[in-house]
Chain A
Amino acid sequence: MRRAEIVTAVLLGILSVYFMWKAGEPPAWDPEGVRFANIGVIEGEGPGSGFWPFWLSAVMLVCCIWIGVNWFRRTSPPSQSDEPFLDSYGWRLVAFVGGGLLGFLLLIHVLGFYGAIAVFLIYYLYFLGRHSIKQTLAISLGVPVVGFFFFDVAMRIVLPKGYLEPLFIPLYEIFL
């Protein structure tokens, strides 16, 4: 945990510097604009567009340095801890759940939301949750059906259908 604390503080510090750099960027339509010209108060115009994000990012950087000092002095709980950042269960969990979510996101582009929901629920309920096939199918097919009637029909929010779009056309004709 101690190593993770300082590594995270350094990464967030780098992120803060990147934010400061980006905040001072001149707009694309003004290639000759000077970087960081927008981070102060411009006469007659008030604070520039980079004023607020730049100085807030600077405070973020100061906070990261402060976290680093606390790490060095071992005053924060993670900087005193010898426990691992994540145990083997935690890493497996991140892999299986994170992987499942990544698969879900990719499948939305292919099968649309309702198809992806069904596949994700089958994966999670049957393989990770060890539920019976009957229960898995009931939930995995029931949720997309309820979702369609709630979002597409009742709320008129049409979710992407991917390559399954033709299957929904008869339903649109009946319900929409």
Chain B
Amino acid sequence: MDILAALIDGIVIAMQPTNLGLAILGVVVGLFVGAMPGLGSVNGVAILLPFTFVIQEVTGTATSPMIFLAAIYYGAMYGGAISSITLGIPGASTAVATTFDGRPLALDGRADRALVTAALASFAGGTISTILFTAFAPPLASVALDFGDPEIFALMLLAFATFVGLGGDDIPKTLFSICFGLVLATVGFDIISGEPRLIFFDITGFSNGIRFLVLAIGVYGIGEMIWTINSSRYKNTMTDVKINAGRVIASIRKFSDAWRGTAIGSLLGFFVGILPAAGATPGSLMAYGVAKMTSRTPEKYGKGSVDGVAAPEAANNSASTGSMLPMMTLGIPGSPTTAVLLAGMVIWGLQPGPLMFTDQPEFVWPLIGSFYISNVIAVLVNLAFIPLFLWMLRMPFTILAPLIFVLSLVGTYAAYQNLFDVWLMVLVGVGAFFLRILDYPVAPAVLAIVLGPIAEPKLRQSLLLSDGDFSIFITRPIAGPITIIAIILILLPLIKLIRDRLRQPKSSESA
């Protein structure tokens, strides 16, 4: 009852005109920043952090600037899906998995359905996670603390295991793709020993490492675009998209088809989000993998499944709320964006930690109230802008394609301000185009380069802890079951392959 009363008070404060205005502004800014390839929530929050000091001075409270930044975070999570669906380029790492089915839906003339599903799934994910946050914040914070290095690595292994199913039936090509992404993630300086690794041909540009966006934009912005032009010869089906309120309303009514993906994404996303060093990207990727694996029609995934859009979108919003939990209750950021938010909180004079809920309720509850409000604003703003997003798809492909190339190059530069990365991105894109022709799945490589920098240190620290004994991943009470599930998932396609091979001679004999 105390929680409910505190929450209602918080919502009333969040609804005050200044806070409401800041939430609307934050959502709109976040939506457009998130939709821009190369820029994600972390860019929006970091760039606008200095403005929050002015907001704090004017309003005299730390709540208003935090509401503004949290609204940008939410808006960006919604916005990431827009470029994934309409342009086929993930706006941010959190929206990579949205591309898998969002893009085929857009190519099939159903971009409105994909955008509406993404918006509503994001709303559901954001709302469910906020309810979970409100109810279970303090106990969940202690669960997250039980996750040490072996547990996090086991979780990453589980994520990789779900990827094996993403690449279709060609297991060696999928495994190659995963390992390739993981190896590329090690390029640059080793964060544990400080030694330079895999500096190819001693080119100094590799010292900075191969960043996720270089690979993602190269694969999706350049490689995929050349592949689309080659297969469609500029006659693109995307021009079939019609814009009218009736179709948007019909898509809203059909949202119930995506309930499975939304439910999986909302719950899994929140859980992964609260783990330190995990965040929205692994959450959305795992949600996609689990939704596909548990689906009765997994063959529809990657070809335009609405569940395939709903699961990662619900998960990334849910994880963004979840990642605020360790930030506020433990002072540990769960993602790069929450790291910037944490820095902001410290500068505004707050002390994130276990006592925050009891010592600073005047800050905590209006902020949680604003999560509910921002979510409602974000879904309304997003739905209102859908005609504008669809308008982009009605452009002739001979205009859209060069604009995507320009966006890819500018977006890569904007992200790292390094021309070497821009060259590398184009090279990766051309390489990905050739590999795509030979049925090499490139998505697992993109996913692996995101999770590699999290997984490797966890593995090495775990093995340091166990003196090189790999059984640490099996014997610990939380890591053990996760590792076993991951191994079973990895072996499943192999078992299926062997079973099919064994059956084949028998059936050919009988024929």
Contacts and interface: CB of A to CB of B under 8 A. Distances in A.
A125 B398 contact: yes
Interface in A99-116: 100-102, 104-105, 108-109, 113
What DSSP secondary structure best describes chain B's contact surface? helix
Given A59-B175, A85-B437, A28 B196 contact: yes
B468 A90 contact: no
Interface stretch (B139-147, B260-268, B410-418, B480-488): B410-418
How many chain A residues sit at the interface, stated as a range, is 35 or more
A149 to B, nearest CB: 13
Contacts of B422: 105, 108
A22 B198 contact: yes
Contacts of B417: 157
A129 B405 contact: no
A147 B422 CA distance: 17
B402 A121 contact: yes
Interface in A76-130: 76-78, 85-86, 89-90, 93-94, 97-98, 100-102, 104-105, 108-109, 113, 117, 120-121, 124-125, 128-130
B402 A124 contact: yes
A19 B187 CA distance: 10
Contact of B198 (A19, A64, A70, A78): A19
A74 interface: no
A120 B464 CA distance: 52
Contact of A49 (B192, B410, B426): B192
A49 B197 contact: yes
Given A60-B183, A85-B437, A105-B426, A67 B172 contact: yes
Contact of A45 (B200, B230, B464): B464
A155 B47 contact: yes
A59 to B, nearest CB: 5
A113 B410 contact: yes
B413 A47 contact: no
A155 B438 contact: no
Contact of B464 (A46, A67, A89, A131): A46
B235 to A, nearest CB: 12
13 contacts: A1-B437, A4-B437, A12-B176, A23-B183, A47-B468, A50-B197, A52-B459, A53-B183, A66-B171, A66-B172, A105-B423, A109-B419, A124-B402
Interface of A: 1, 4-5, 8, 12, 19, 22-23, 25, 27-28, 38, 41, 43, 45-53, 56-57, 59-60, 63-64, 66-67, 70, 76-78, 85-86, 89-90, 93-94, 97-98, 100-102, 104-105, 108-109, 113, 117, 120-121, 124-125, 128-131, 139, 143, 147, 150-151, 155-157, 159-160
